A and B are shown apart, each in its own frame.
Chain A
Amino acid sequence: NAGVTQTPKFQVLKTGQSMTLQCAQDMNHNSMYWYRQDPGMGLRLIYYSASEGTTDKGEVPNGYNVSRLNKREFSLRLESAAPSQTSVYFCASSEGAANYGYTFGSGTRLTVV
């Protein structure tokens, strides 16, 4: 079972470049999430999709857009990357009730220079 798959694992961007982080889950989960992890800040929610066809902003959505392509896939796009977006990005999915716990992908380490 692959669980949650994120691509790419590493990426270096120049300021102003754009890119899309891909996430796919094979557990038939309804809800999917994008978090970023920064030192001393924990995991902060960027965007989430409670179910297919819906997306909502989280705690730190500025500079990002998302697409819930289908039930399996949830992508995160940086339209014009900034050094402040240097971070480790995690995608997660869940059954729909957060108390069941999330399943996380292994992360994408993004550096913006």
Chain B
Amino acid sequence: DQQVKQNSPSLSVQEGRISILNCDYTNSMFDYFLWYKKYPAEGPTFLISISSIKDKNEDGRFTVFLNKSAKHLSLHIVPSQPGDSAVYFCAASKKQGAQKLVFGQGTRLTINP
């Protein structure tokens, strides 16, 4: 049972445009949501997070939006740059308990010049 889903395996965006990556979750107990970025042959690196008490968090070119009623979050990258080409994973955790991260399947983002 996939509790965190990224339904788009890949996304191609032109340089300078907005990239929007989507993520859905099924477990209403999740309290925190995170996005990770992964380059080939490297480990994932933390990008941005959002608490369930917020609906938006912004960090430079990256903004994460959370819609709790729809159990949906999205990552916006504006403007997209060639260095943003990577695989993006969304992840979720519960505040209580063991605080493990549950990851989605990942979306490969390609920024075209």
Contacts and interface: CB of A to CB of B under 8 A. Distances in A.
Contacts of B102: 45
Interface stretch (A68-76, A78-86, A91-99): A91-99
Interface string A30-69: 0101010000111111001010000010100000000000
Contacts of B41: 106-107
Given A40-B9, A90-B43, A107-B43, A102 B101 contact: yes
Interface string B41-60: 11111100101000000000
A105 B4 CA distance: 22
Contacts of A103: 46
A16 interface: no
Given A41-B105, A43-B89, A45-B100, A99 B45 contact: no
Interface string B20-47: 0000000000011010000001111110
Nearest to A105: B43
Give the bracket for the number of chain A residues in contact with chain B. Answer: 20 to 34
A113 B41 CA distance: 21
Contact of A99 (B6, B9, B32): B32
A98 B42 contact: no
Contacts, number: 66
A98 B31 CA distance: 10
Query: What is the predominant secondary structure among interface residues of chain B facing chain A?
Result: loop
Interface residues of B, number: 27
Contact of A101 (B31, B49, B98): B49
Contacts of A40: 9, 105
Interface of A: 4, 31, 33, 35, 40-45, 48, 50, 56, 58, 90, 92, 94, 96-99, 101-107
Interface of B: 4, 6, 9, 31-32, 34, 41-46, 49, 51, 89, 91, 93, 95, 98-106
14 contacts: A33-B100, A42-B103, A42-B105, A43-B103, A45-B100, A48-B100, A92-B43, A98-B34, A98-B101, A99-B34, A99-B99, A101-B49, A103-B46, A106-B42
